[in-house]
Amino acid sequence: MAHILVVYATTEGQTRKIADRAVSRIRAAGHAVTLVDARAAAATELGTFDAAILAASLHVRRHQPEIVEFIRKQRARLEDVPTAFISVSLSASSSKEEDHANARAAVDDMFDEVDWDATLVHLAAGAVHDRQMNFLKRWMIHRILRDKGVEMDPSGDMEFTDWAALDVFVDTFLERCRRSAVA
């Protein structure tokens, strides 16, 4: 049994929901897990861990500063264990390869900025929750979605996350961790 650290940074809450799903999957596989909000990570004693999954959402080609700061502070520890990074964005829900390439480029830019690379990376589609955004942000998001041929649900809530793909990613990462521990 491994101890997996899951650290997330979220703006509207979808990344937390994705982190919770990863935690459930890890526990179901029989591992111990610690879930930490990146905003509280500096004040939290992380203890030891055998692997880590980091998750953050992408806004205007940048991930939350809290996850960037966490990686900077914990880089040496992260380099000693298998790591996964989940980048959450609406671009990941697009059918256009250009959008996926831009989302991946934003991940690579962050990795370059902090001089670190994750063992595995997953681009997860996010969600839109109108009630959690101000008018300007809501207008911009709706415009971007319309330009991509997506009409918002009248409820103002649309979830694009592919939960099955996320489960496969977490399972693949856990298998990689198992093989790494055996080697």
Residue-by-residue DSSP string for 76-121: HHHHTS-EEEEEEESGGG-S-HHHHHHHHHHHHHHHHHHT---SEE
Task: Enter the DSSP assignment of 71.
Answer: H
Greater pLDDT, 33 or 158:
33
Q: Which residue has the tokens 């992380």?
A: 46
Q: Is the pTM for the entire model greater than 0.75?
A: yes
Q: How confident is the model at residue 150 (pLDDT cuts 50, 70, 90)?
A: low
Mean pLDDT (whole number) for 108-119: 96
Distances (CA, A) of 158 to 25, 41, 64, 161: 23, 30, 22, 9
Largest CA distance in the chain: 53
Whole-number pLDDT of residue 93 = 77
Whole-number pLDDT of residue 44 = 67
Among 71-85, 88-102, 104-118, the range scoring the smallest mean pLDDT is 88-102
The gap between the terminal CA atoms of the chain, to the nearest Å, is 15
Q: How confident is the model at residue 159 (pLDDT cuts 50, 70, 90)?
A: confident
Whole-number pLDDT of residue 183 = 62
Instruction: Work out the number of other CB atoms within 10 angstroms of the CB of residue 43.
Output: 6
Mean pLDDT (whole number) for 2-29: 95
The bridge status of strand 51-59 relative to strand 62-63 is: antiparallel
